[in-house]
Structures are given as structure tokens and as C-alpha cells.
Amino acid sequence: MQYFGVTVLLDRTEPAVMKPGARVRAVLEIENRKNVFSMPRQALFEKEGKKLVYRKRGDRFEPVPVEIATSSPGRVVVTKGLTRGDELALRDPTVVERSEK
């Protein structure tokens, strides 16, 4: 949840209820898409100019190309490439860390 100031221009007002400078509680719908997934940004990788995720298959991870829409610093909206229930790697499984060598 985020809080921020906003100025709104209304088509009509109801002076009995609406006062300048009054507070309002509202839900701001920025985007409404069907059949998309929101995932942590760290699950998205870019290799050779393509965006991909690593999806778990058995005991391994396979690269899967994805298409993305909007994103924020912590989340990415994926429009193609994933299905409900997919398990994703949060770090690149193809990179061997020094401690694993």
C-alpha cells in the first residue's frame, strides 16, 4: 500500500459531502489486466537481449522466455511465458558461486 498526494478534477461535485482539502480513501486502479502474473524482479534475467526466467522442472531449472508489461522496483508483470503454479529461481542457476567450486 502506498500513500501519496493527488489533485483530482471532478466532472461534478456534491457540496453537501465534498469539501476542498478533505481526505478521501480510494482505490486507484492503474492497470487491470487479465491472465498476467506479478513476480519478484530478481526472478527476471536478461540473456542475449532476451528476457527470461528459470522455471523448475523436476530437480533442475530451465530457461523460459517471457514477455513483460509494467514493472516497479520490486515487481514485474509477466504477460506471456508462465502458467499458474510455476516455481521460479530467484537467482541465476547457471552461475556457479565461488563457495560451490
CATH number at residue 66: 2.40.420.20
Query: Into how many domains does the chain fold?
Result: 1
Residue that is written with C-alpha cell 541465476 in the block? 92
Rg of the chain over all Cα atoms, to the nearest angstrom: 21
What pLDDT, on the 0 to 100 scale, is given for residue 1? 61
* Mean pLDDT, rounded, for 91-98: 81
Q: What pLDDT band is residue 28 in, cutting at 50, 70 and 90? A: confident
Domain range for residue 65? 37-92
- The pLDDT value given to residue 67: 95
pTM of the predicted structure, to 2 decimals: 0.67
The answer to whether position 9 is within a domain reads no
Any domain includes 97: no
Across the chain, where does the E strand assignment appear?
37-40, 45-47, 50-57, 60-65, 67-71, 75-80
